Amino acid sequence: MKILVSVKRVIDYNVKVRVKADHSAVDLTNVKMSMNPFCEIAVEEAIRLKEKGIATEVVAVSIGSKACQETLRTALALGADRAIQVEAEDGLDSLSVAKLIAKVAQDEAADLVIMGKQAIDSDNNQTGQMVAALLDYPQATFASEVLIENGEAQVTREIDGGLQTLAITLPAVVTTDLRLNEPRFASLPNIMKAKKKPLDVKTPADLGVEVGSNVSLVSVTPPPQRAGGIKVGSVTELVDKLKNEAKVVS
């Protein structure tokens, strides 16, 4: 079984995001970048399936400029067998990205596509669902447990009322949630080995996919600064402020 896992290069989650002075975009100058945390979980799950003998090959794919090769090398260091970069301008909309990933999945004849449920930069939570729709594959989103057996995937997902288990036939698309696993760290020997693993570069034209964006970024504004807390002298004063100022108590 071949698994295709998508990874995205985003601002590291520990970094405080800055907005450009003209509010046109997020300032990426000298900002530390890393793999999207949900993509890390997807890579980890794919590698675990290979370690169990369920998968025979794990292929990582990323859409973006040459800089995303660093993220692909990280996936290779974690245990992916090879990588594919689809060279495209950064900031493509979700549909364009989904079209490219879907075409790679078709060309690779992937039995399972594992993706993070969302990226922490755009927070759209829609690319995985679009890939499934384009491929006409069954999908299971927000996975907290994945079991593969007899050409079928049993996926447990968290919903408002508790847990829901879906049985889907392969090939399929699965998107990962936080509780699915805890990603490993890449060891130094594996980081060195990753430099020799194959990384192919393709273009949308190579894949026969025409990309464009139907979404334009109007402006980016930082969230309002949180006001500092105050001390109150009594319970009566606290209740009064909660009722009349915060209006959270009726």
Positive or negative: CA dihedral 61, 65, 71, 76: positive
pLDDT at 35 over 80: yes
pLDDT confidence of 110, banded at 50, 70, 90?
A: very high
β-pair partners for 146 = 155
Mean pLDDT for the stretch of residues 170-185: 93
pLDDT digit string, tens, across residues 218-250: 888 888 887 778 888 899 889 888 888 878 877
Q: Mean pLDDT: which of 117-126, 134-143, 215-224 is highest?
A: 134-143
Domains of the chain with CATH codes: 2-221 (3.40.50.620)
Q: Mean pLDDT: which of 135-139, 150-154, 225-229 is highest?
A: 135-139
pLDDT digit string, tens, across residues 161-173: 889 999 999 999 9
Give the pTM: 0.85
Mean pLDDT for the stretch of residues 4-19: 90
Mean pLDDT for all residues in the chain: 91
Give 160's contacts (C-beta < 8 A, 6+ positions apart). none
pLDDT for 55:
93
3-state DSSP call for residue 153?
A: strand
Look at the block and give the residue holding tokens 């807390």.
Answer: 229
**Gap between the Cα atoms of 4 and 41, Å rounded:** 13
